[in-house]
Amino acid sequence: MIALVDMNAFFASVEQGDHPEWQALPVAITNGVVGSTIITCSYEARAWGVKTGMRLKQARQLCPGLIQAPARPERYAEVSTNIMHALTDITPDIEVFSVDEAFLDLTGCQNLWDSAFDVGMMIKTCVNEASGVLCSVGISGDKTTSKYAAKLRKPDGLTVIPPWDAEKKLSEVPVKELCGINHGIGNFLAERGVFVCGDMKKIPVSVLGQRFGNPGRRIWLMAQGKDPEPLALSVPEPKSIGHGKVIPLNTKDRKTVELFYQHMSEKVAARLRKHQLSSQHFYIALYTEKGWLKDTLKTAIASCDGAEIYALCKTFLSRYWKNEIGCFQVQVTATRPLPAKGQMDFLMQTDSKKEAVNAAMDKINQRYGEFCIAPAPLLNRSSMPNVIAPAWKPTGHRQTIEKTGGRE
C-alpha cells in the first residue's frame, strides 16, 4: 500500500495561510518583488486562466485583481519540513519526492488502520494540522499508480485505486501522463503504436529494455499498474553540488556577471563545507543569446573555498565570453565531490588560515542567516531570493533551503 501526498498549490496556500486577508483571492508567486514570471498560483488565479510560467503582465490582463506575492523559500522549506516530520506519525517509511510531495509506504502498518480510505483521511488531517494547507492523496499498490490517483481529485481530494484494479484504471490513460515518461520516451512509444497505457502490451518488454535499460523495463510495468520501484528512504551520496541563477535579461556588463558568479561560487563552497566535501572539478556555464557556453575546470587540489571556485569562473569568462553577447543565466557545479579529509597530494599544502576563516564564517552564517558574513562585493548582490530546487529534501545535502535567522 503506497500513498502519494501532494500539497495543493503549496506556495500559494502557505501565503494565503500567512495572510488571511488573501483567502479565496487570486494569488501569484514570483521570484522576488522584481520577478516577472509566475512560479505558481492559487486555484482562484487558475480559474482566470493564470498558469505557472506565465509572465506577470499577461496574468494581470487575464486577472486584474491578481495579488503578487514574492516567494519566501525559507518559509516554504519550514512548512514542508513540518509536514514531513508530522507524516512520520503515520509511517516511518517516507520518501520526500519534492518540497510539496511525499510517498508513504503503508504496507507494514495496514493492520493498524481500518481501510485505505481511513488512512487517506488521516494523512489529510495530519498535513492540515501541521501546516494549515490542504492536500490531495492517492493510494494504490505502487508509486506510479498512487501518483496518478492523487491528480484525479484536486484540490483537497482522496482517490484509492486497489492494486487489482490498477491495470484497468490506467488502460485508457495516455502514457505521457505517467510520471517519468517525458516527450522523448513518449514519442518512442508512439512510433510503436503505444499511446495509452493499455497499448503497452502490444510491444514486448525487451523493446524498452534494449533502448532504455532497466528504466525502460520499469516503464513497461508502470503502464500496467505494476511499478516495481521501491521508496527511496534515504538520500544517496551526492554526484554533484551546484547552484545557478537567472540574471537581468541580456546582461553585457562583466562586473555584473562576475558578481553573480561570485555569489554562486560562495553558495557552492558553503554547501560543500557543510557536508564535509570538496571537489577538484567544477562545471561552469553561462547562458547567452547564442546558447550555453560551458566547460569543466580544475583547481590545483580539491577545494571547498569560494574564492578558488570564483577564480575558475573568471578564467572561464576570459576564455569564452565577450561582453557584446548578452547573458541570461549562470551556473556553477562541483562535480564528483569527495570527503574533504581524504588523501591529499603530498606536494600540495592546504591553507590552514583560510580553512579557519571559512569555518568561522560558516558558523556565523548558520546562526544569523546566509551571507550575514560574506566577501564585500556580495553586499550588493541580487535582491532576488533563493529558489527551491525540485530535488530539495528536508535533510542531507539536498537541504538547499532552510529556515534561517537572517536575510537571503
Does the residue 276 lie in any domain? yes
Q: pLDDT tens track of the chain, all 408 residues?
A: 999 999 999 999 999 999 999 999 999 998 877 777 898 999 999 999 999 889 999 999 999 999 999 989 889 999 999 999 999 999 999 999 989 999 999 998 888 878 999 999 999 999 999 999 999 999 999 999 999 999 999 889 999 999 999 999 999 999 999 988 988 899 999 999 999 999 999 999 999 999 999 999 999 999 999 999 999 887 777 788 999 888 888 899 999 999 999 999 999 999 999 889 999 999 999 999 999 999 999 998 899 999 999 999 999 999 999 888 899 999 999 998 988 765 555 555 667 788 888 888 888 888 887 788 888 888 766 565 666 666 666 665 555 565 544 433
Helix (H) or strand (E) holding 131: helix 116-131
Dihedral of CA 99/101/105/110: which sign?
A: positive
Does the residue 341 lie in any domain? yes
Closest-CA residue to 312 (of 331, 292, 290): 331
- The answer to whether residues 249 and 190 belong to one domain is no
Does the residue 136 lie in any domain? no
Q: What CATH number corresponds to the domain at position 15?
A: 3.40.1170.60
Does the residue 94 lie in any domain? no
Q: Which residues, in sequence order, are bridge partners of residue 69?
A: 29
d(CA 30, CA 11) in angstroms, rounded, equals: 10
pLDDT at position 376: 86
Tell me the pTM. Answer: 0.78
Does the residue 124 lie in any domain? no
Is the Cβ–Cβ distance between 191 and 135 less than 8 Å? Answer: no
- The answer to whether residues 211 and 355 belong to one domain is no
- The answer to whether residues 183 and 296 belong to one domain is no
Dihedral of CA 148/144/3/127: which sign?
A: negative
Domain that holds residue 393: 240-398
Using alpha carbons only, what angle is made at residue 154 by residues 112 and 171, rounded to the nearest 5 degrees? 80
Query: Which one-letter amino acid corresponds to residue 17?
Result: G
Positions of E strands within 71-143:
94-98, 101-105, 135-140
For residue 165, CA distances in Å to 73, 145, 155, 160, 227 come to 39, 10, 23, 10, 14
Is the Cβ–Cβ distance between 262 and 377 less than 8 Å? Answer: yes
pLDDT at position 406: 40
- The answer to whether residues 202 and 318 belong to one domain is no
d(CA 255, CA 270) in angstroms, rounded, equals: 22
Rg (C-alpha) for the chain, rounded Å, is: 24
User: What contacts 24+ positions apart, CB below 8 Å, involve 187-190?
Assistant: none
Active site residue 101: yes
Residue the block writes with cell 569555518: 359
Judge residue 29's burial from the number of C-beta atoms within 10 Å of its C-beta, 0-12 exposed, 13-18 middle, 19 or more buried. buried
d(CA 221, CA 181) in angstroms, rounded, equals: 12
d(CA 181, CA 195) in angstroms, rounded, equals: 12
**Which of the following is catalytic: 74, 95, 101, 370?**
101
Q: What CATH number corresponds to the domain at position 190?
A: 1.10.150.20
Helix (H) or strand (E) holding 15: helix 10-18
- Number of structural domains found in the chain: 3
Does the residue 24 lie in any domain? yes
Does the residue 191 lie in any domain? yes
Find out whether the peptide bond into 238 is cis, omega within 30 degrees of 0: no
Does the residue 14 lie in any domain? yes
d(CA 245, CA 48) in angstroms, rounded, equals: 30
